[in-house]
């Protein structure tokens, strides 16, 4: 599954970071407020200094105020996960920064819908996703040979790298990193307390905490930009799509969340593993003909049934493609992906190579026609180029309940459950019922950004940054494309592209994301 400037330093927030920071130096040791209070203690920070190197190899010294883990709900289930850290720049390259009205980057570290904690974080980028531990099989997006990224930003396990956080801090933005409960958490009674919808409820509670502390917490609480990768990308998209939706109210009330809005301004989602009730069909439509890494073909009977389900679902959406493409269907989606995303992605990649490197690449990839500075190829040849699919069939609601997503929909003392009618009907574990549990439909709505976009939720984010690697077979390429089409169809600002030859968790243009934040938020630097 697979997680924002100062005068003279990236005037529009456009520092591009390859992302290594030096050891931080603590100048003071004040600690942050703990649980029981939803009032942010603006004086409870430590002052740290770190060195951030941009893509030109230039080092920048960044001094920032850091607040250790702060519990963001009044009645936490587990403070280890229901807390956040705050980093606010005060000086960059010796020049004072006023971050009072700076955008806030809300960067989650969720990978695999697993627990994520900042409880022990001591600096910016300190969040972490608990990728180990028990649960229903390995989390989707676990290391499986994702393509490498020359910029060092591919994260095959999902969860956040520190690139976006460091970049944002160096650009003068406030960085807030929330923890969240995850699917493998279990109490002494054997009850799972981090399964759906716990993670999204926690992130919403974090946003409410931030917004309720307007004027106390650093940054502009009306300009919160979320970011996440894989399952974290799905949660980021869900956070953006579901702003102020009433269907979460009872869950937030149980936690004692702040009485404030949970709407965010903009959304950054990398390789979002989402729309789970339709993910198996989408996956087979995309990768059904591709063999596994073992060279074996998956059960084509099952694959074709799921492809038919996807065709029915896609038709029901009535989504129109970007740039006047028309209604997206299972019959034309391959053409849409090739023309709208894949050929432009390959073209951008090839244009960025030297003449000799381009010639070498084209000689090794003869399926690409390079003419007039543009790459063209067929969908079938693209699938052959990608090669082995990452997952078996069904990819998400496994018949034997072995997928991480089965654990995501666990409840009570039941670790793993089916969440699709097809998965339940074909269960191989000996369950007495061949139907999904009665609470599953509501839970699916709580976890799916498409549910909110289909209804035109007025509290949604209006700005979307969506990215996916072309070789990412942890999910279907249609998932993020549908998300983009749904948002664009509502009139939202959508910036969506695919990274050529990149695998799960790729983020090859982090500097562009930081610049985009400045653009959509209208942020301009302030000198002190």
Dump pLDDT digits (tens) for 446-457: 999 999 999 999
CATH T-level assignment (fold) for domain 46-130+146-274+507-521? Rossmann fold (3.40.50)
What pLDDT is recorded for position 161? 56
What pLDDT is recorded for position 18? 37
Between CA 86 and CA 174 the distance in angstroms is: 7
**Tokens 């950054």 label which residue?**
268
pTM: 0.90
DSSP one-letter code for 189: T
Q: What percent of the chain shows pLDDT beyond 70?
A: 86
Q: CATH 3.40.50.1820 spans which residues of the chain?
A: 46-130+146-274+507-521
Q: φ and ψ at 221, to 5 degrees? A: -70, -10
Peptide bond into 49 cis (omega under 30): no
Provide the pairing of β-strand 59-71 with 46-54.
antiparallel
**Tokens 């995309």 label which residue?**
286
What pLDDT is recorded for position 163? 83
pLDDT above 80: residue 369? yes
| Closest to 396 (Cα-Cα) out of 385, 409, 411, 379 | 409
Confidence category of residue 53, pLDDT binned at 50, 70, 90: confident
Between CA 10 and CA 52 the distance in angstroms is: 13
What pLDDT is recorded for position 8? 27
CB atoms near residue 299 (< 10 Å): 12
pLDDT above 90: residue 142? no
Q: Encoding tokens for residue 311? A: 């065709």
What's the rounded mean pLDDT across residues 447-475?
Answer: 98
What pLDDT is recorded for position 525? 64
What's the rounded mean pLDDT across residues 15-19?
Answer: 39
Q: Encoding tokens for residue 292? A: 């596994």
Q: What percent of the chain shows pLDDT beyond 90?
A: 83
Residue that wins the pLDDT comparison between 167 and 409: 409
Q: Residue 473 burial by CB count (10 A; 0-12/13-18/19+): exposed, middle or buried?
A: buried
Q: Is 275 left (phi over 0), alpha (psi -120 to 50) or beta?
A: left
For residue range 206-216, what is the model confidence (pLDDT) as tens digits? 999 999 999 99
Between CA 337 and CA 423 the distance in angstroms is: 28
Alpha carbon of residue 48 to chain centroid: 28
**Tokens 């010796």 label which residue?**
94
Alpha carbon of residue 67 to chain centroid: 24
Q: Which of 11-25, 34-48, 49-63, 304-318 has the lowest mean pLDDT?
A: 11-25
For residue range 216-262, what is the model confidence (pLDDT) as tens digits? 999 999 999 999 999 999 999 999 999 999 999 999 999 999 999 99
Helices (H), 409-476: 421-425, 440-447, 449-454
**Tokens 């990215």 label which residue?**
467
- Run of H or E residues at 526: none
Peptide bond into 41 cis (omega under 30): no
Between CA 162 and CA 289 the distance in angstroms is: 36
Confidence category of residue 445, pLDDT binned at 50, 70, 90: very high
What's the rounded mean pLDDT across residues 470-493?
Answer: 98
What pLDDT is recorded for position 75? 97
235-237-238-239 Cα dihedral, nearest 10 degrees: 90
CB atoms near residue 30 (< 10 Å): 14
Considering only CA atoms, give the Rg of the chain.
Answer: 22
| Closest to 1 (Cα-Cα) out of 150, 129, 89, 190 | 129
pLDDT above 60: residue 71? yes
**Tokens 């599953």 label which residue?**
440
For residue range 105-130, what is the model confidence (pLDDT) as tens digits? 999 999 999 999 999 999 999 877 65
C-alpha atoms less than 13 angstroms from C-alpha of 296 in its C-beta half-sphere: 6
The whole-chain average pLDDT of the chain stands at 88
DSSP string, 358-420: HHHHHHH-TT-EEETTEEE--HHHHHHHH-SBS--SSSSS-TTS-SHHHHHT-BTTB-----S
Beta bridge partners of 499: 469
pLDDT above 60: residue 35? no
Buried b (16+ CB within 10 A) or exposed e, 331-366: eebbebbbebbbbbbbbebbeeeeeeeeeebbeebe
């Amino acid at each position: 599954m697979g997680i924002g400037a100062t005068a003279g330093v990236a005037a529009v927030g456009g520092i591009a970071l390859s992302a290594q920071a030096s050891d931080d130096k603590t100048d003071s040791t004040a600690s942050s407020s703990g649980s029981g209070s939803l009032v942010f203690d603006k004086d409870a920070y430590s002052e740290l200094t770190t060195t951030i190197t941009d893509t030109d190899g230039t080092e920048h010294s960044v001094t920032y105020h850091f607040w250790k883990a702060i519990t963001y709900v009044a009645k936490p289930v587990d403070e280890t996960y229901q807390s956040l850290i705050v980093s606010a720049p005060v000086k960059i390259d010796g020049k004072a920064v006023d971050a009072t009205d700076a955008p806030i980057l809300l960067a989650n570290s969720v990978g695999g819908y697993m627990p994520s904690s900042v409880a022990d974080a001591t600096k910016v980028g300190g969040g972490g996703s608990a990728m180990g531990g028990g649960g229903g099989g390995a989390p989707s997006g676990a290391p499986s040979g994702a393509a490498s990224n020359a910029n060092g930003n591919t994260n095959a396990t999902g969860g956040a790298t520190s690139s976006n956080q460091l970049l944002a801090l160096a650009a003068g933005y406030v960085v807030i990193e929330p923890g969240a409960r995850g699917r493998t958490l279990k109490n002494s009674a054997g009850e799972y307390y981090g399964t759906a919808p716990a993670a999204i409820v926690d992130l919403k509670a974090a946003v409410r905490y931030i917004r309720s502390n307007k004027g106390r917490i650093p940054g502009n609480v009306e300009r919160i930009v979320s970011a996440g990768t894989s399952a974290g990308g799905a949660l980021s998209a869900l956070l953006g799509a579901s702003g102020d939706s009433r269907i979460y109210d009872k869950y937030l009330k149980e936690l004692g969340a702040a009485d404030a809005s949970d709407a965010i301004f903009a959304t950054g989602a990398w390789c979002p593993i989402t729309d789970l009730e339709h993910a198996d069909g989408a996956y087979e439509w995309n990768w059904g003909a591709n063999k596994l890494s073992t060279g074996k073909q998956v059960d084509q009977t099952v694959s074709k049934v799921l492809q038919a389900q996807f065709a029915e679902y896609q038709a029901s959406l009535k989504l129109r493609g970007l740039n006047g493409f028309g209604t997206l269907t299972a019959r034309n989606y391959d053409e849409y992906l090739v023309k709208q995303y894949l050929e432009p992605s390959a073209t951008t990649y090839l244009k960025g190579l030297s003449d000799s490197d381009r010639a070498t690449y084209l000689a090794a990839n003869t399926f690409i026609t390079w003419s007039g500075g543009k790459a063209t190829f067929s969908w079938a040849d693209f699938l052959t180029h990608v090669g082995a699919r990452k997952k078996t069939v069904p990819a998400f609601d496994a018949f034997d309940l072995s997928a991480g997503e089965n654990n995501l929909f666990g409840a009570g003392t039941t670790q793993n459950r089916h969440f699709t009618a097809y998965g339940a009907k074909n269960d191989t574990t000996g369950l007495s019922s061949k139907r999904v549990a009665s609470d599953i439909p509501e839970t699916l709505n709580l976890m799916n950004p498409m549910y909110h976009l289909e209804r035109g939720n007025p509290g949604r984010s209006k700005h979307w940054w969506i990215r996916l690697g072309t070789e990412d077979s942890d999910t279907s390429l249609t998932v993020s494309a549908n998300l983009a089409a749904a948002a664009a169809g509502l009139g939202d600002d959508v910036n969506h592209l695919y990274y050529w030859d990149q695998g799960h968790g790729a983020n090859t243009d982090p500097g562009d994301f930081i610049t985009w934040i400045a653009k959509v938020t209208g942020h301009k630097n302030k000198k002190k």
